[in-house]
Amino acid sequence: MTWLEVSTENCPVQRTLDVVGEKWTLLILRDASNGVRRFDEFRRHIGLSEAVLSNRLRTLTAAGILKAVPYQEPGSRVRHEYRLTRKGWDLWPVLVALRQWGETYDGEPEGSVLEIRHSECGAPVRVVVECAEDHSALTPSDVTARPGPAARPLP
């Protein structure tokens, strides 16, 4: 069976995009990974409507990517902070890869908007695809993609 003969209805890329494949969702995840926690902070920083933000936060919470943690300011009602779960943090390399691509192909002439550096040595961080056996970096020409055990033929 070749890729063109495989049904994409159970494709993990497609299922992931069903949850996080919308611009505002990725920007919420970007901000959450950079320490933004509260509804008003997300709304102010990203610049989206309350209705869209509420919907995206509900979707991310239901998917287990964010968790809502109650807090209460003195004299105010209980509200929630939104924190990345382990599942949410596992999307961090995707965000770094998008940032890396954007810096390479559409970056600001004066440099990065946000620098991500290794805390220990200060070197810039980059995302690479590597071999699970020898940990060497790979290019698309170094790999072979073929249908896996969950591949289903097109109907």
Report the pLDDT value the prediction gives residue 155, as an integer from 0 to 100. 84
> DSSP letter at 73?
-
Can you spell out the DSSP letters for 76-140? S--EEEEEE-HHHHTTHHHHHHHHHHHHHHH--TT--SS--B-TTT-PBP----B-TTT--B--G
Q: Are 3 and 145 in contact (CB under 8 A)?
A: yes
The average pLDDT across 89-115 equals 93
Q: What is the CATH number of domain 3-142?
A: 1.10.10.10
Task: Look up the pTM and report it.
Answer: 0.88
For the residues 29-48, what does the mean pLDDT come to?
97
Contact 68, 82 (CB under 8 A): yes
Query: Quick one: pLDDT at residue 135?
Result: 81
The mean pLDDT value for 57-65 works out to: 98
What residue spans define the domains of the chain? 3-142
The token pair that represents 84 in the structure block: 């990345």
